[in-house]
Amino acid sequence: MVDRALAEGATALVRGRTLGNLVEPTVLSGLPADSPLLHQEIFGPVVLLVPFDGDEEAVRIANDTPYGLSGAVHTADAERGVNFAHRVETGMFHVNDSTVQDDPQVAFGGEKASGFSRLNGEATVEAFTTQKWISVQHGRTDFPF
């Protein structure tokens, strides 16, 4: 995917090597707006730097993908970061932290093609549990009607 982006005109600010299954960090900029890499879910140390002009455009760019597992924003204004997080279509979002978080007490999962279910905490109990109401009456029931 990185080689394809470079062939399409992206610039490698940092170009890691691939050694077997090990991929070194890569930072790309200057990707064309129609680059397939901008619409992929990349599970590797690849960072795409995409310039934007204001929060509205940043949200549009972030949501312009069929995926939505996790996201992050770094800002001096935490309230602005939380407002931004509410508008990005992901299952998880982190303000002033990395996108890689997993806590067994907190629901983990994505949106769109990244999945619609959650793991961990109460979400796991709900995913593997079906509620059922069982009532037992001993004796005669007095109906109110």
Q: Tell me the pLDDT tens digit for each residue of 41-81.
A: 888 899 999 999 999 999 999 999 887 778 889 999 999 99
Q: Would the pLDDT of 118 be above 90?
A: no
pLDDT of residue 133: 72
Helices 78-87, 55-63: axis angle to 10 degrees equals 40
The overall average pLDDT reported for the chain is 83
pLDDT of residue 122: 73
Is the pTM above the cut of 0.75?
A: no
Instruction: Provide CB contacts within 8 A for 26, sequence distance 6+.
Output: 2, 12, 14, 15, 16, 45, 46, 47
pLDDT of residue 24: 93
Band the pLDDT of 135: cuts 50, 70, 90: confident
- DSSP label at 39? G
Instruction: Provide CB contacts within 8 A for 97, sequence distance 6+.
Output: 72
Band the pLDDT of 116: cuts 50, 70, 90: low
Give yes or no for a contact between 75 and 95, defined as CB atoms under 8 angstroms apart.
Answer: yes
Give yes or no for a contact between 94 and 101, defined as CB atoms under 8 angstroms apart.
Answer: yes
- DSSP label at 122? H
